Amino acid sequence: MHTKTLAELSLGLRQREYSSVELTKYFLDRIAKYDDKLNSFITVSSDTALAEAAAADKRLSTNEADILTGIPLAHKDLFCTNGIKTSCGSKMLDNFIAPYDATVVAKCKAAGMVMLGKTNMDEFAMGSSNETSFYGTVKNPWDINTVPGGSSGGTVAAVAASLTPIATGTDTGGSIRQPSALCGVTGLKPTYGTVSRYGMIAFASSLDQGGAIGHSAEDVALLLNVMTGFDKRDSTSIEIEPSDYTANLNNDIKGLKIGLIKEHFNEGLDAKVNQVLNTAIKELEQAGAIFQEISLPHSHLSVPIYYIIALGECSSNLSRYDGVRFGHRCDEPQDLLDMYKRSRAEGFGAEVKRRIMLGTYVLSAGYYDAYYLKAQQIRRLISEDFKTAFKQVDVILGPTAPTTAFKIGAKIDDPISMYLSDIYTISCNLAGLPAMSVPAGFVDNLPVGLHLVGNHLDEARILNIAHKYQQLTNWHRKTPIDFC
């Protein structure tokens, strides 16, 4: 059953080929069998999952169920879940039991979906390799000696190994798309504001966005139908008409104009990855798409600009973790200041501390104008570059990551090299644009991702292109041999 698409699983539930309880047990058994190799889950909520599955079966028996009723999923462990630990991959929140559900979690519950558990992640979503988690490194199912990418590495590894058919993730600078590329699955970050951030523990508030991770564009579109929508509890949520992201999946792409980012096809891109992408471009050309070169002249500034803005926001957001109200508190503090210092020193890992210190620096009185304000100005220029590009083309295409998955430990002591892993994805977050990674082939038995970027609120178009590409190829159906 783990090779079926969401549509196929849903049809099987409706035709009574199996129950949601049976389906849920099947995936729980796969987690029990395989996750020791991957470390993709922090919490497996078996009892809750089986109770939700039983409730889903009752809904299914009435023929009033939604299309995803009874389908198991996993949530990245920064979506608050009522009564179940939400850790953010950090010792700081190792004892935190959320008293409410995030909007995304509540929407999935309302649709009758079944939560298998909470997936591992880089601590507070800060990382590109899933090596900063308090709960240990996640392994890539295609080669357990390599990283799965991050920060949604646990989520993506679980989907790639078919421990869950679908899952939620978050993307601040590429944290859905980069690991999706490294693990050979499909991941989409929608337009900023289309998925509520209420109950999604913040890293950088102007960049964070929830999204969907699955095997195919159709699977992602089905989950996106559930996740999106206005939420008055989130001040960044945008009011838009409800969309069916599956409605235009089969539209013809003949005559569609696709821009190739010349700054991304340069010496920084691995030559073998480039060959895979060129093959994908030819396949889309044969389907009728028209390609032309475009320029994003400020894209080379994306990484430094991102790490000024994101770190400034993270230092502000993480100031709430002080050992007073919730989270880790040190033992026997001598006084209030000692409690603050030791609770934060013990609760946060090295990468989080590095980012808090840098963020505090760029927001400080003497440096705010020189760094943070200037970064916001350049952010506007990056956004304008995209606006200019979308006057020429319908969609933008490029590589998701400059290389395939790298060895565990290869970059952990070189933060600059690690940060450059997201060099092709960061600009979309700075501009608030929808973007997704689609499996496009392999280099030395490791997956390569194709990056598609749409204009604001144009998720349907990039999903359409991804779906048509996946009808021409079968890369998205490949499964790591050890997890068949």
Question: What residues are labeled active site?
Answer: 76, 151, 175
Cα 129–Cα 130–Cα 135 angle in degrees, nearest 5 = 160
**CA atoms of 170 and 159, how far apart (whole Å):** 15
Q: Report the DSSP beta bridge partners of residue 228.
A: 195
Whether the Cβ atoms of residue 209 and residue 238 lie closer than 8 Å to each other: no
Instruction: Please provide the size of the chain in residues.
Output: 484
**CA atoms of 420 and 304, how far apart (whole Å):** 10
**CA atoms of 399 and 261, how far apart (whole Å):** 9
Whether the Cβ atoms of residue 207 and residue 310 lie closer than 8 Å to each other: yes
**CA atoms of 255 and 258, how far apart (whole Å):** 9
Whether the Cβ atoms of residue 77 and residue 42 lie closer than 8 Å to each other: yes
110 vs 90, 208, 225, 262, CA distance in Å? 29, 23, 12, 44
Phi and psi at 468, nearest 5°, equal: -65, -40
**CA atoms of 360 and 315, how far apart (whole Å):** 6
Strands of 97-235, DSSP E: 114-119, 166-171, 186-189, 209-214
**CA atoms of 69 and 109, how far apart (whole Å):** 9
Q: Report the DSSP beta bridge partners of residue 115.
A: 73
What amino acid is encoded at 12 in this protein? Answer: G
Phi and psi at 437, nearest 5°, equal: -110, 135
Residue ranges in 95-164 assigned as alpha helix (H) = 103-110, 153-160
For the four alpha carbons of 387, 388, 393 and 398, in that order, the dihedral sign comes to: negative
